[in-house]
Amino acid sequence: MAHSLSLDEVKNEIRSCIISSKAMLTLKQLSSDYMMLVGDPIPFKNLGFQSLEGLIKSFPDLDLKKQGNVTYAVAKQSEKSAHISELISNQKSPKKRPKFGRFHHSFPPSRSHQTNGWRPKTKYQSNKNHNPSGARAKNHAQFVSRSQPTVASKVVIPQHSSLPKQILRVEDEPATKGELNQRTNNKRLQENIKALSNSGGKEYMSKHRNTVFTTNTNINNNDGALQSTQIDSGASSKLLLSTKMRLSRKMSELSLDSDSGNSSPTNESISPILSKTAEFSRTNDPLKDLKKFVAIHKLGDVAVSTTLMDPKRKKFYSCKIKVGSEHTYCSYPKEFKSALEAQSFCCEEALADLIPKCEIKASLISTEQDLLIRIPPMLEKHANGIWAKQLTLDYSDKYGEMLPHDWLSIIDKSNNVHIEKTAKDHILYHCKLGDKGQQRIGGSRMPLSNVSVPANTVQFREDGKLTCQITYVVSANEIWCEQIYTEENTRFSEMVDRMKIYYEEHEAQLIPQEIVLAGYYIAKYEQEYYRVRVEKIDQRGIVCFFIDTGDELVVPKSNIFVLERVYATSQAQAFLCRLSGLEDLYDVSTNSEHLAALLDRVVILELAIDISGDENTAILPVYMYDFETGSSINEDLISQLTVELAAPILKPDRSTEVYISHIESNGDIYVHVKTKGFDNLQSLRVELQMQVNEKPLDYLLYTVTKMNSEGHLYFMKDKLTGNWERTKLIDWAPTGDYAQVYFVDKGYTDVIKVADETLYPLDSVNEVFNTYPSQAVRVRMALDAIPPNFLDLATAALPKETPVLLKIVEMGAENIPTVKLFRRNADGLFCINESIAMQTELSKEETLKNKFKLLAVSGIPSTGTLKCPPLPKAGPGSRPIEVFVPMAVSPYNFIVQPCSSYKQLHDMMDKLQLAYEDVQYGNLSIDDIVPGGIYAYKHTDSCWYRLSVIKVIHTGSSVSGYLCDYGSYQTLSVRQLVTLDEAFMELPYQALSAKLAGIKPKLDKWTMVDCEFFKQLTEMKRLYAELISIERDSFSRSDIILKVSLYDTSTDDDILISDELIKSGIAVKHT
């Protein structure tokens, strides 16, 4: 059979043999086990290998180990941690890594995505640890906001405003990018006016109480001029500019404190810095506009190159513009029919990026109150701290205001800010109340990279939902997502495109002098550039956490580059969530195929808990819905994962390790397959059992009937074991009082009086536990006939806590697999089916022997009137004779044939077949049969043998007999006997009953396993026998038994069989 097996199938069988040993196997034992399991030798030559060692070395999960002169086969055990193993697995799974820039999410049509609002039915919540174990999750920080985003189109009106009420509104339409910029500027201006009014500017405010200021920078209008507007009849743009100048001057005076308490604050006013953008006006020539803007702001040279792309497929143009050494823009992937169109588009993109950056919004200086309110939340998003230099720039970018020269001393007043001074700069940390000045966790701080990337703030709508794309999946409690269809995500995507162009040109100049743990860098992986945080540095490379996708990979050190601040301002995009309602599957859902299929999918998330404001939430419990249909992904995954993780599948082409659950007397056996989810199911059962024992769930109970129980599972106490189990009601009595209940994870049934039992509906107790597939798999033992005592034999041979190998022989009736079961003892695998069959035969033999005890009275030996073959002199040191063992039952019961007359036996058997080949049946009657007589007997194999009649059974036309040359007892019909010719009486009988001398069973008697081991050592083999003594058979004093020592000389070292039995622990010496 093995010659037809594929390489993978042979590997599976070899691995089954090795794993079943729970250790390692010698190659000799492996070959023996494989032969027992498959029925043929390991076909390494047919598979193209010169040796078995070569075959095993070709399997990555198998290995060879040498101890002395003995070679062992072992199943490899990974020395890496689960974390490192996962990293290696990820390295081999590029499909799990979405590339930056691959998805540019335009805003979807303005429509409401309805979800089905699924919630778990489970009343009882398992006390599981919800946090994933990976380092990336432990080191990850993220924030959640349920507050409504700033709507810049909202016009803020003072309480006593004289403006008409009709303008007191909030627009519902989504804002454009330009509108958002305008609204942000409005908010900043209002904040500064408020700060000024609280700091001595009341006189100014009283003059302009009814004036609301807004600013709008429009880079797409025709004239390109910066427009400043003021909502007040008769107001002019000059007033706004004047106001900004006065605000700046006044704020500078208020925020520039003295160096000491004895000094007077400076009264020098700082001249306002006029926005250079005001000097810039737009024309109809984008390139001319760009060059003018670059010249005004002294950004360097403008280099423009236009390229014809992919002319063989489709002619289109692409443009690339480089401004100075820091800014690069490209029109790709958009396609243009002309070079001018591509150039114009690229110029507009450059202006759209540069104008907001270069507009001198920092002409306003923040107040002390603003600093104390704004900076701590900014620091909180940098878990490892941030350099003061970067914070200064980030603050200016975020709020459009400058920090005062002594801002460090101001912010040091905050109880949430800790400042450390270094030779290079100051480092600022966020700290909890009461921790200020305390040593940071972990002792001395880690080196800080030049830049830090702010943590992600996940912005949920007021209804608790958001739209995102899944970027990386580990398990049901570690799913990484990127929020999409937001202005933030759009800006990030645009930044990534620029980042790629920049790093492709500047790699050589961006090699880091050192790489520090927890530092932020750019990693090049598969020709793409990613923002990463360093998690570990070792000989394999740099273990990097990809902050915008959630992935974690090993990257060569040569592919790590400095992260420029301009690409660090955008927050980390990846946020972490877990699927609520699947808590009981968290531990076993790693590497699930169904979870992996979620990758790149656009989904809607809904918070499963109430988060009222901005919170630092390490992992978000969510309900996940399909973006298009609104169906619950959580609900679908419960059924998909339970089947994937715990479906007990028996594959017909390979051996499967199983555990016995239940045995029926008809030959049916129910087995468990230890799947990934099996232990999780058992843990759930124990948890729920403790729950119902401590606090019964009586509120779930209802009257169970035939109608309402169909298709439902119940949690019921098993009277046999006292455990609570999953059950199904499969049959009902006509009266409806009694029902037959099937224990779906055990395989047995019981009859219950329904009213007397507590039946908890499982779909209400625990949805995951209810959805798991039934674990008891029904198989049938491959036996020619099921013996009456099968239940006893199988129970003894198949302990429930011992693993066995199952191999499907065929699919039988009702699609029930007919199987062979194999179990391992100290000496290798043995077949349980064969052992049960042998025990059945042994039982028959014992029955016959008991009948033959009566022969001792008559003095007729089992061999009848045939002569005994010549025997050597008995005693220690006697000359060994070569023998053949045709049958071995136990060390105290086996048959030997002298090899000296082996040829004579075969010649006689050939002549016997020829002499009686035309005879179908004999014509002897029961009265013609003489006990002790020798007859020709036609066996069921259609061959003729010499048989000695031992006893005539007068109740019928049957006799009991003994095969004189082969040693087995038979019960047969008289019709199968024929008078034997005298010519066949000359050869002495060849079957000599024997037992091993000098040993006895270690236990009270030889066990089935002992007998099987002895049979493997001796049966159908040529051995040498040393005759120690001759004794009379205790059953029949007329028969003799040879006490011998057996030797196997087929190997280099002679093996004494009795010593092998002692070494194996099944025999001891006996004198």
Same domain, 834 and 862: no
Same domain, 656 and 625: no
Residues 252 and 294 in one domain: no
Residue 580 · residue 623 · CB < 8 Å: yes
Measured from the Cβ of residue 289, the count of other Cβ atoms closer than 10 Å reads 20
Residue for token digits 């499982």?
762
Q: Given the DSSP bridges, would you call strands 668-673 and 714-717 parallel, antiparallel or unpaired? A: unpaired
Q: Are residues 828 and 867 in the same domain?
A: no
Work out whether the CA dihedral 672, 674, 675, 676 comes out positive or negative: positive
Single residue among 429, 453, 477 that ends a domain in this structure: 453
Domain contains 573: yes
CA dist 241 → 21, 178, 246, 248, 260 (Å): 86, 20, 9, 11, 34
| Cβ(348)–Cβ(388) below 8 Å | no
We report the CATH number of the domain holding residue 56 as: 3.30.420.610
CB contact at 8 A, 856 and 1037: yes
Query: pTM higher than 0.75 for the full model?
Result: no
Say if CB 661 and CB 794 are below 8 A apart.
no
pLDDT of residue 530: 96
Task: Please write the tens of the pLDDT for every residue from 1023-1069.
Answer: 999 999 999 887 677 788 999 999 999 888 899 999 999 999 999 99
Q: What single DSSP character describes residue 899? A: G
Residue that finishes a domain, picked among 453, 488, 507:
453
Residue 320's CATH number: 3.30.160.20
User: Which two three-digit tokens encode residue 855?
Assistant: 């022969």
Domain assignment present for 972: yes
261 in any annotated domain: no
- In whole angstroms, give the CA distance from residue 860 to residue 1039: 8
874 and 1021 in a single domain? The answer is yes
Same domain, 120 and 71: no
Claim to verify: residue 572 and residue 472 sit in the same structural domain = yes
Q: What is the pLDDT of residues 153-174, one digit of tens each?
A: 232 323 333 333 332 333 334 4
Q: Report residue 703 as tokens.
A: 């009257």
pLDDT at residue 944, rounded to an integer: 94
Asked whether residue 615 falls in the same domain as residue 478, the answer is: yes
Radius of gyration of the CA atoms of the chain, in A: 44
To the nearest 5 percent, what fractions of the chain are helix, strand and coil?
30, 25, 40
- Under-50 pLDDT residues of the chain: 1-3, 78-102, 110, 124, 126, 149-278, 362, 441-443, 613-614, 854-857
| Residue where one domain finishes, among candidates 75, 100, 130 | 75
> CA 643, 648, 651, 654 torsion: positive or negative?
positive
Q: What digits encode the pLDDT tens for the residues 723-752?
A: 999 999 999 999 999 999 999 999 999 999
Token pair listed for 407: 């801002």
Q: What is the pLDDT of residue 26?
A: 82
Domain that holds residue 167: 149-256
> Is 369 among the domain residues?
no
Amino acid occupying residue 1: M
Beta-bridge partner residues of 994: 894, 1042
Residues 887 and 970 reside in one and the same domain: yes
Which residues 6+ apart lie within 8 Å of 446 measured at CB? 384, 516, 517, 518
Q: What is the pLDDT of residue 1069?
A: 92
Q: For residue 547, what pLDDT is reported?
A: 93
CATH number at residue 735: 2.30.30.140
Place of tokens 């890496």: 80
pLDDT single digits (tens) 486-518: 888 888 998 999 999 999 989 999 999 999 998
Same domain assignment for residues 243 and 190: yes
DSSP string over 996-1058: ESSEEESSSS--HHHHHHHHHHHTT-EEEEEEEEEEE-SS-TTSEEEEEEEEE-SSSS-EEHH
> Which tokens is 101 given?
């820039």
- CATH code for the domain in which residue 778 is found: 2.40.50.90
Query: Considering its fold, how many domains does the chain have in total?
Result: 8
The sheet carrying 724-732 orders its strands as 749-753, 738-743, 724-732, 714-717, 760-761
- Please indicate, yes or no, if residue 268 is contained in any of the structural domains: no
| 60 phi/psi in degrees, rounded to 5 | -65, -25
Considering the domain boundaries, does residue 23 fall inside one? yes
Residues 212 and 228 sit within 8 Å (Cβ to Cβ): no
Whether 623 and 508 share a structural domain: yes
Residue 264 falls inside a structural domain: no
Dihedral (CA of 349, 352, 355, 361) sign: negative
Residues 532 and 616 in one domain: yes
Query: 370 lies in a domain?
Result: no
Q: What's the Cα-to-Cα distance from 620 to each of 221, 288, 591, rounded to whole Å?
A: 43, 49, 20
CA distances from 1062 to 29, 82, 1010 (A): 18, 43, 11
Pairing of strands 70-75, 25-26: antiparallel
